[in-house]
């Protein structure tokens, strides 16, 4: 009895086209669902940033400014860096970060393409906060890339000391 239903070319074509139609109708929905879940999970920060030191370059506008605000909402201590320009809004960003909950904000004007200035703002950050990274200072041991006009520099730390090397 079932053989008679599925031996028909019309039925085979109907099942094939219905499967293709369902695939085309469900795929975008599933893609959008996964995209929404991925984006939502990527913006949920579960790490406790309270009293940790975060150093942000390019914080006077764009992504750097938004990062400063997000870390300020999580009560992180901020060291924000930008180049000194007449249109620099770094002081305004610092004031807004304090309003959002950052307990301490260090404002530094420096050019990240110059190794001497990179050393200076890392030194200033460590001198001001007494540490870099978390409360124990261990978070500063990772290599942190600094991108400038003249390539990428890495901060390498070992036993509380750091070294900037050109990549």
Partners of 144 in the β-ladder = 155
Burial group, residue 43, by CB count within 10 angstroms (0-12, 13-18, 19+): exposed
Domain boundaries along the sequence of the chain: 2-42, 53-166
Q: Taking the CA atoms of the chain, what radius of gyration do you get in angstroms?
A: 26
SS3 call for 164:
strand
What region does 82 belong to: left with phi over 0, alpha with psi -120 to 50, or beta? beta
* Best CATH choice for the domain 53-166 from the list 3.20.20.140, 3.30.300.30, 3.40.50.720, 2.102.10.10: 3.40.50.720
Do 138 and 112 form a contact (C-beta atoms < 8 A)? no
Measure the CA–CA gap between 120 and 110, rounded to whole angstroms: 8
What's CA 41's distance to the chain center, in Å?
13
Rounded Cα distance between 67 and 45, Å, is 12
In order along its 167 residues, the chain shows pLDDT tens digits of 455 555 677 778 888 889 898 888 888 888 898 988 888 877 765 677 887 888 898 888 888 899 999 899 988 899 999 887 766 788 999 999 999 999 999 998 988 888 888 888 888 888 888 866 554 443 443 344 444 444 444 444 444 445 555 44
Q: What pTM does this model have?
A: 0.57
């Amino acid at each position: 009895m079932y053989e008679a239903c599925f031996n028909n070319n019309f039925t085979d074509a109907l099942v094939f086209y219905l499967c293709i139609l369902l695939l085309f109708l469900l795929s975008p929905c599933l893609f959008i669902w996964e995209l929404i879940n991925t984006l939502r999970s990527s913006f949920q920060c579960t790490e406790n940033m309270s009293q940790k030191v975060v150093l942000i370059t390019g914080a006077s506008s764009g992504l750097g400014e938004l990062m400063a605000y997000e870390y300020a909402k999580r009560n992180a201590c901020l060291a924000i860096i930008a180049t000194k320009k007449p249109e620099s809004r770094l002081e305004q960003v610092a004031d807004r970060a304090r309003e959002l909950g950052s307990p301490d904000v260090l404002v530094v004007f420096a050019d990240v393409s110059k190794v001497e200035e990179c050393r200076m703002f890392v030194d200033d950050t460590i001198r001001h906060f007494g540490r870099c990274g978390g409360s124990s200072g261990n978070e500063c041991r990772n290599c942190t890339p600094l991108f400038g006009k003249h390539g990428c520099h890495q901060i390498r730390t070992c036993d509380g000391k750091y070294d900037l090397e050109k990549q």
